[in-house]
């Protein structure tokens, strides 16, 4: 089983809640024990405890396989590309991060950090922060350097319109384009992303018809926490685009959002999304 989260945003309290719930005996009896952690990016910025979050993730790497992809806020901090939204308290907490703290982010031979996507061919899983589209296929020629970054996988967003478009919030893509890209690697794929902080579940059936799934929320109490869950049965004949809600809401308007996480149950072919109330 995999534990999945996205957009922790330096929120150590929220990460702690997620780990307390998922490592509790009650959770393990009901859902199983996770052996792999999928971090869909945006570990940094907005929140006020980046050092503690990074330390916790490094500790988890000692006991679990941790797969991480880069988020746009991770890149903004590591490449010194300012993105608005962080408070002075958050900015100051990030200023004191050391090279040792940031060792969680692997450095590539070309000087960049981490990976934009991660692909699990055994289980037909595609992990990305924003979207799976190949930036080289969607960006125009002679693009300005400042705009080129916004076409990266870490900046891509699911479009709410019936068309694709670019803005200074990133490239907005259609689910159909996402499935075309993932099908280059395997059929009947499950794409897991974050970035936009709100859950969304999109299914493409064998006839290529696409619909957004509206699933029943089930409320339960686990390890002294009240959680709401949505269970997604994964069909062998469909493609899925599943967007997780925000993991760490500390740096946003108080009370506007709750911590989210998910699990992937490989034996039952199921993805379950959780919101901590």
Tell me the mean pLDDT in the region 76-103. 95
Q: 28-33 long-range CB contacts below 8 Å, 24 or more apart?
A: 30/222, 31/1, 31/263, 31/265, 31/272, 32/1, 32/263, 32/265, 33/1
The predicted pLDDT at position 85 comes to 83
Question: In terms of residue numbers, what domain contains 104?
Answer: 2-276
Two structure tokens written together for 142: 């002679």
Among 62-66, 114-118, 252-256, which stretch is predicted with the lowest mean pLDDT?
Answer: 252-256
**Counting Cβ atoms within 10 Å, is residue 263 exposed (0-12), middle (13-18) or buried (19+)?**
buried
pLDDT score, position 8: 99
For residue 243, what pLDDT is reported?
99
7 falls in which pLDDT band (50, 70, 90)?
very high
Dump pLDDT digits (tens) for 176-225: 999 999 999 999 999 999 999 999 999 999 999 999 999 999 999 998 99
Structural domain count of the chain: 1
Res 196: pLDDT: 98
Band of the pLDDT at 253, cuts 50, 70, 90? confident
- Mean pLDDT across the stretch 82-99? 94
Q: For helices 12-22 and 50-61, give the axis angle rounded to 10 degrees.
A: 30
Has residue 84 got a pLDDT over 90? no
pLDDT tens digits along 144-158 = 888 999 999 999 999
255 pLDDT above the threshold of 80: no
Q: Are strands 190-193 and 125-128 parallel, antiparallel or unpaired?
A: parallel
d(CA 90, CA 47): 6
Tens digits of per-residue pLDDT, 216-240? 999 999 989 999 999 999 999 999 9
What is the predicted pLDDT for the residue at 256?
76
Q: Kindly report the average pLDDT of the chain as a whole number.
A: 97
CATH assignment at residue 50: 3.60.21.10
Q: CA nearest 268: which of 31, 29, 24?
A: 31
């Amino acid at each position: 089983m995999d534990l999945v989260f996205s957009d922790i945003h330096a929120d150590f309290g929220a990460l702690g809640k997620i780990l307390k719930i998922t490592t509790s005996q009650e959770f393990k009896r009901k859902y199983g024990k996770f052996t792999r952690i999928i971090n869909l990016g945006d570990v940094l910025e907005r929140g006020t405890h980046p050092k503690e979050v990074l330390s916790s993730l490094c500790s988890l790497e000692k006991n679990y396989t941790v797969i991480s992809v880069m988020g746009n806020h991770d890149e903004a901090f590591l490449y010194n590309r300012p993105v608005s939204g962080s408070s002075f308290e958050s900015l100051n907490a990030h200023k004191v991060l050391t090279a040792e703290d940031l060792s969680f982010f692997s450095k590539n031979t070309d000087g960049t950090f981490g990976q934009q996507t991660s692909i699990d061919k055994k289980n037909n899983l595609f992990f990305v922060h924003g979207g799976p589209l190949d930036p080289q296929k969607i960006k125009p020629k002679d693009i300005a350097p400042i705009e080129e970054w916004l076409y990266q996988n870490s900046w891509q967003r699911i479009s709410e319109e019936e068309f694709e478009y670019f803005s200074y919030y990133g490239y907005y893509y259609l689910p159909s384009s996402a499935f075309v890209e993932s099908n280059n690697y395997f059929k009947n794929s499950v794409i897991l992303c974050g970035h936009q902080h709100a859950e969304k579940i999109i299914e493409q059936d064998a006839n290529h018809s696409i619909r957004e799934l509206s699933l029943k929320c089930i409320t339960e109490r686990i390890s002294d926490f009240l959680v709401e869950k949505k269970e997604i049965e994964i069909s062998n004949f469909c493609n899925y685009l599943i967007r997780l809600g925000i993991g760490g809401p500390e740096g946003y308007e108080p009370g506007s959002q709750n911590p989210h996480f998910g699990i992937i149950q490989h034996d039952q072919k199921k993805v379950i999304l959780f919101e901590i109330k």
